Structure 1
Amino acid sequence: MRTIRDERGFSRLIYGPNFTVLRKGGTVHRRAIGLVALAGLALSGCAAVTDSIVETSGQSRGEAILSPSSKPVTVDNVAGNNRLRRLAAEQHPKIVASYGGEYNDPKLERTVARIVGELTTAGDNNTQIYNITVLDSPSINAFALPGGYLYITRGLLALASDSAELATVIAHEMAHVTANHGIERQKMERAETVATKVAEDLLGSSNAARAAAIRGQLRLAQFSRGQELAADAIGIRATAAAGFDPYAAVRFLRSLSAYTRFRSVTGAKPELDFLASHPTSERRMEIAQRLARQQGGPGVGTRARDAYLAGIDGMTYGDTAREGFIRGRDFLHPRIGIGFRVPEGFVIDNSSEAVTAAGPNDMAIRFDGVRVARSISLTDYLASGWIGGLDPNSVEAGQVNGLPYARARAAADGWEFAISVYRVDNTVYRLLTAAPVGTKELARLAHTTARSFRVLPKSERATLKPLRIRIVTASGSDTIGSLAAKMAPVTRKEQLFLVLNGLSKNDRIRAGEKFKLVVE
């Protein structure tokens, strides 16, 4: 642990990448950092703001909705509750582990702490203490827990383009804390559960019982949408009060939308992703634009772009060695020492469950590994029933790149599958290529991918390192194309460059401007 006091008098206790921001002028005390994970939906995850939401700003009823609570649940409140303290101790390691651990970078910590410090001194609840954890995850996510506990992934930090954009995300999550959204949502969910149980007891499995359950879920959805509007309104107002550009909310939502389109080609599930709980829409951007106008015209507030970019310079981008690396069409895993290449036109996505790749004509590839006793042959494993529709006459064994190998075909529900399995030590790796029935390219493309599976030599494994964000200054001759060409061997370099820098393809590069690149 260390204490830092910056040039403006903000005091911070820093516990590695998990740190506490205290108000200016406050006494610095050591506080236990325990992230309170209330069961289920008590996490203030954010839901979609849709066209059905009516702005209530300026109305007496709306002011109650769009204001922080006069009695937010604070660190002190939570610490005084033995049950919540026990939950914190139990849940924090699980939360951190599910996002790949904590990301440790003192320079980055100071950048985030500075922004949080600005927000806390200018906010409606400037005595609130916030505990921040930067998560070592490439997913784009931020969320808040009751008591002032905030999480931000490095994936989100890579997408934000300036201090104001990060400030508007953090202020949105702070708003969930100060408005007690997590606690209120837990109460409402508990009430709806009770109501549904009563309906089931009285009405049995009738249509009326099901209708009652559906109405309860709709009430929860409406409640969540109201919380999102409230968090947007409080967050944008707090961002402006801290001196940041309130229009940053619109820019960040636009970047999220661009990221969604960029990523959609893989067909990947967002899993632990901000996009799973913070869906963007044109309507939400319109609302954010109107909320920002209430704080002043365009140009009000600071973006602090250079300071932010300096803070994220050198930060890890994408996957780490524990998940394996995507390099163009290659998936390479230095820890377990294997790799393979997907065909031209396929885009790889790496999730916690499996490596997948989406290709043309609805073709897809899935790769994973399972423990299988060495006493079970690969051909017997193929025929053991883990995949339906297997053609037993197609099972055959052999070797590929010096490894035991078996393959087979299967068909089910209008799809055909080419399956290859490999044994490396006690693990069987499974490579499945799927295509709609009748796809002529299936056999050829599956064979090409299957033949590329290999064990990586130690010399190659030693050279594999995570990608990083590098900040560069554009020269007078630079273009979008020339800067994107300097990126590491990633898929769709120019598109990724545009997304990370909040640009469109028609934007011009000006000499002296700073930009994010992904480099080796």
Structure 2
Amino acid sequence: MALCALATLLGACVADQTEATVRPAVVRVPAEAPRTTGRERVADADHLKLVASFGGEARAPNVTRMLTEVTDRLVKASDRPDQTYVVTLLDSPVVNAFALPNGRLYATRGLVALASDTSEVAAVLAHEMAHVTLSHATARSELELRSALVSRVVVDVLNDPDTGAQLQHQSRFALARFSREQELEADATGVRTLAKAGYDPFAAGRFLTALNRSTGLKAGSATEPDMLATHPGTAERITQVTRAARRIGAPGIGTDDRASYLAAVDGLAYGDNPRDGAVRGHRFIHPGLGIAFEVPEGFTLENTRSAVLGTIPDGSRRLLFDQIDAKEGQPLDAVLKASWNDAFDPAGFETREVAGHPTAFALSRGKDWTFRLAAIRIGDSTYRMIMAAKGAADPDPAFRRWTATLVAVSPDEVVLRPLRLQVVQATSTSAEDLARRMMVPDRALDRFLVLNGLERGAQLVPGRSYKIVAE
């Protein structure tokens, strides 16, 4: 966890599937296929940085094998069957997928968990493969370079900074429009490839719908780079991919290969990796940092790479917990001032011990929100806790109760087992029966339905397999 801006705040029990990290799955292509030359070292460095930023490679050989087989099937049906692809499963709960121009494909375990069948996974991979075959990254880079060059010539050569700034502004809109066009083009190409490979072409629309529903269950303003951030215009895209699928045929064509998908994801790690801290109910525990805290009733927590976020259902109260930099011997009130851009209420400063830890409190009133802040020193680390209330309401009573729960814990005190997907059979038609077995902090029924691609009110089929989250 690192320093977070104000915008951040507002804006399964199965044994490990393997003991070794899974290597990327390489899809074999004919010997005559063109090979990448020149920029291998740069590409490898980009790959390593990208994998590290998403938690490393996931240890799930069954899922990696599924991704390999799906990609192999798609590449044979694509416009470029000679293209080489390397698939990597990322150890991140964030729902995302992307491709590099050299044919490296990436999917997070969060994305694989959200899908309902193999065809939905294939839809995402087909979309990312389309970006590669259509050379979208290269085209975008050329447009960015050309736009920057034109504005620089206007500023430096013609000595007209105002026009240069205007051109840069216009270029941003042009790039946004270009990105939208690329997404829609990749969607159309992906759906065609999906159908040609024998998969259900309507899977693309189903997955995008699940993505929207999943995002609605998040605790606060998203700070992770999920697919809604990197793939804009989701509502429009759902309409477009559904229309593209209907041009191919009526619903029911192609295979969804649900059985193979469920066999692959059974036991897949779900949610936070305990090494990065984990949410268990209303409690957050981070064995590595040696800390834990509990939030007041009503708050839903989300652990992101930069902070722990929380909100109540109507969004009128939010909280943030992160670790901040502090110089040796620096007073904690000065630490708060250095980490906050808005003005403080001078009367709101207070310094005292909380649960034996030096703590500084502060109050900041904005136009639309009131903030209570605290900097707490535990050992050599300094943590920041912020609670915000909409309007002039003071969140102080709940904030004080929250700060009092922050404690130091030893590894012996905390044994966190990762949550995992577990495939179980329904014994009744009631979704609530299986939802009660979900190890999630809140909204168990909603999360069960989204996880299985079911609508509210849907009845289960006794004997049919479904995914739940278990410890």
State whether TM-score is above 0.5: yes
2:275 aligned with 1:269: no
Residue identity over aligned pairs, in percent, reads 38
Distance 1:408 1:186, change over 3 A: closer
Taking the aligned partners of 2:193 and 2:202, their CA distance within structure 1 comes to: 12
- The code of the aligned residue for 2:297 comes to E
2:457 aligned with 1:519: no
Taking the aligned partners of 1:492 and 1:280, their CA distance within structure 2 comes to: 26
Taking the aligned partners of 2:147 and 2:363, their CA distance within structure 1 comes to: 48
Taking the aligned partners of 2:196 and 2:337, their CA distance within structure 1 comes to: 65
Residue pairs, 1:452-491, within 5 angstroms: 452-462=405-415, 464-475=416-427, 477-491=428-442
Taking the aligned partners of 2:461 and 2:368, their CA distance within structure 1 comes to: 52
Pick aligned residue for 1:293 from 238, 246, 254: 246
Q: Does the Cα contact within 8 Å between 1:257 and 1:280 map onto a contact in 2?
A: no
2:434 aligned with 1:428: no
Q: Deviations over 1:137-170 (max 9, x none)?
A: 1111111111211111111101111111111110
Pick aligned residue for 1:112 from 67, 76, 93: 67
Q: Match of 2:171?
A: 216
Q: Match of 2:28?
A: 22
Tell me the CA shift for residue 133 of structure 1. Answer: 1.0
Q: Match of 2:357?
A: 403
Q: Does the Cα contact within 8 Å between 1:356 and 1:365 map onto a contact in 2?
A: yes
- The code of the aligned residue for 1:86 comes to R
Q: Does the Cα contact within 8 Å between 1:418 and 1:432 map onto a contact in 2?
A: yes
Tell me the CA shift for residue 280 of structure 1. Answer: 4.6
Tell me the CA shift for residue 447 of structure 1. Answer: 1.1
Q: Does the Cα contact within 8 Å between 1:196 and 1:216 map onto a contact in 2?
A: no
Tell me the CA shift for residue 373 of structure 1. Answer: 4.6
Q: Match of 1:167?
A: 122
Q: Match of 1:89?
A: 44
Taking the aligned partners of 1:146 and 1:15, their CA distance within structure 2 comes to: 25
Q: Deviations over 1:79-111 (max 9, x none)?
A: x21xx2231133222111111111122111111
Pick aligned residue for 1:334 from 287, 294, 319: 287
Taking the aligned partners of 2:388 and 2:351, their CA distance within structure 1 comes to: 20
Tell me the CA shift for residue 249 of structure 1. Answer: 0.9
Q: Match of 1:7?
A: none
Tell me the CA shift for residue 228 of structure 1. Answer: 1.5
Residue pairs, 1:319-330, within 5 angstroms: 319-330=272-283
Q: Does the Cα contact within 8 Å between 1:339 and 1:454 map onto a contact in 2?
A: yes
What's the secondary structure of 2:217's corresponding residue?
Answer: helix
Residue pairs, 1:489-508, within 5 angstroms: 489-508=440-459
Taking the aligned partners of 1:385 and 1:470, their CA distance within structure 2 comes to: 42
Aligned residues: 450
Q: Does the Cα contact within 8 Å between 1:362 and 1:435 map onto a contact in 2?
A: yes
2:187 aligned with 1:226: no
Q: Does the Cα contact within 8 Å between 1:329 and 1:491 map onto a contact in 2?
A: no
Taking the aligned partners of 1:85 and 1:470, their CA distance within structure 2 comes to: 40
What's the secondary structure of 1:175's corresponding residue?
Answer: helix
Q: Match of 2:392?
A: 438
Q: Deviations over 1:378-401 (max 9, x none)?
A: 456456675643344443343333
2:460 aligned with 1:509: yes
2:103 aligned with 1:152: no
Taking the aligned partners of 1:491 and 1:254, their CA distance within structure 2 comes to: 21
**TM-score, length basis structure 2:** 0.89
Q: Match of 2:324?
A: 370
Of 396-405 and 385-394, more deviation after overlay is shown by 385-394
Deviation above 6 Å: which 4+ runs of structure 1?
A: none
- The code of the aligned residue for 1:20 comes to V
Q: Match of 2:305?
A: 352
Q: Match of 1:284?
A: 237
Taking the aligned partners of 2:295 and 2:109, their CA distance within structure 1 comes to: 27
Taking the aligned partners of 1:167 and 1:439, their CA distance within structure 2 comes to: 48
Q: Does the Cα contact within 8 Å between 1:366 and 1:433 map onto a contact in 2?
A: yes
Q: Does the Cα contact within 8 Å between 2:123 and 2:194 map onto a contact in 1?
A: yes
Q: Match of 2:263?
A: 310
Taking the aligned partners of 2:185 and 2:246, their CA distance within structure 1 comes to: 16
Tell me the CA shift for residue 518 of structure 1. Answer: 1.1
Of 386-395 and 251-260, more deviation after overlay is shown by 386-395
What's the secondary structure of 1:322's corresponding residue?
Answer: helix
Distance 1:306 1:374, change over 3 A: same
What's the secondary structure of 1:410's corresponding residue?
Answer: strand
Q: Does 1 or 2 have the higher relative contact order (CA < 8 Å, sep 6+)?
A: 2
Taking the aligned partners of 1:395 and 1:221, their CA distance within structure 2 comes to: 44
Distance 1:384 1:21, change over 3 A: closer
Structure 2: 5+ residue stretches without partners: 1-19
Q: Match of 2:17?
A: none
- The code of the aligned residue for 1:22 comes to R
Q: Does the Cα contact within 8 Å between 2:349 and 2:360 map onto a contact in 1?
A: yes
- The code of the aligned residue for 2:422 comes to R
Residue pairs, 1:117-132, within 5 angstroms: 117-132=72-87
Tell me the CA shift for residue 469 of structure 1. Answer: 1.0
2:161 aligned with 1:205: yes
Q: Deviations over 1:244-280 (max 9, x none)?
A: 11111111111112122222xx332243211101135
- The code of the aligned residue for 1:182 comes to A
Q: Does the Cα contact within 8 Å between 1:372 and 1:426 map onto a contact in 2?
A: no
Q: Does the Cα contact within 8 Å between 1:268 and 1:349 map onto a contact in 2?
A: no
| CA RMSD between the two structures | 2.4
- The code of the aligned residue for 1:205 comes to P
Distance 1:489 1:290, change over 3 A: closer
Q: Does the Cα contact within 8 Å between 2:376 and 2:384 map onto a contact in 1?
A: yes
Distance 1:22 1:319, change over 3 A: same
**TM-score, length basis structure 1:** 0.81
Q: Does the Cα contact within 8 Å between 1:395 and 1:408 map onto a contact in 2?
A: yes
Q: Does the Cα contact within 8 Å between 2:87 and 2:104 map onto a contact in 1?
A: yes
Taking the aligned partners of 2:103 and 2:21, their CA distance within structure 1 comes to: 16
Q: Deviations over 1:365-422 (max 9, x none)?
A: 1111134355344456456675643344443343333433332333344543222222
Tell me the CA shift for residue 119 of structure 1. Answer: 1.0
Of 197-206 and 493-502, more deviation after overlay is shown by 197-206
Tell me the CA shift for residue 509 of structure 1. Answer: 0.7
Of 344-353 and 426-435, more deviation after overlay is shown by 344-353
Q: Match of 1:142?
A: 97
Taking the aligned partners of 1:197 and 1:383, their CA distance within structure 2 comes to: 38
Q: Match of 2:14?
A: none
Taking the aligned partners of 1:498 and 1:209, their CA distance within structure 2 comes to: 51
